[in-house]
Amino acid sequence: MHDPDTPHNAKRGTILTNISNKEYARLVERRSPRSPIFKNTACAFVAGGLICAGGQGLLALYGSLGLSEEEAGAAASVTLIFLGALLTGLGVYDKLSRFAGAGTLVPVTGFANAIVSPAMEFRSEGLVLGTGARLFTVAGPVIVFGVAASVCYGIVLAILR
């Protein structure tokens, strides 16, 4: 019996080498699972909104403790970074991201997750060569480009003055 999803020149279990790009695209389209885009969008929206609402709540809490708006903002950011890193280390953030998808990419917590995840993956290689070195796989380029951009902006500002 001929499988309608299999091109005429390919048998089940063989490597598809003699099919056109068009045939291959049709095969991939038929075999790929459909993405529940509306469910994923709703989950991302709710999760991202809850993270942002939590950050706003922390901002209000620190403000009510007598911190200035700038100090409260810094304290809320540090708290969110700490929580993102802690939840990543405990394996909770990954479970949350499977449910919430892009909603967990809120900049502060997503950045903390992006820094801690590689470190956790390579912790078996030791504290320095594993965890320590991998902490900077994401943070390193961000720091380098941030410093380079600051220097460029400083030069432009000095020239324009």
Distance separating alpha carbons of residues 136 and 125, to the nearest angstrom: 15
Task: Please tell me whether the overall predicted TM-score, pTM, comes out greater than 0.85 for this model.
Answer: no
For residues 70 and 55, give the distance between their C-alpha atoms in angstroms, rounded to a whole number.
Answer: 14
**If 0-12 CB within 10 Å is exposed, 13-18 middle and 19+ buried, where does residue 106 land?**
buried
Domain coordinates in residue numbering, the chain: 37-160
pLDDT in tens, 74-123: 999 999 999 998 998 888 988 888 888 888 887 788 878 877 777 676 66
Rounded Cα distance between 43 and 50, Å, is 11
pLDDT in tens, 28-82: 888 888 888 899 899 899 999 999 999 999 999 999 999 999 999 999 999 999 9
Give 35's DSSP letter. Answer: P
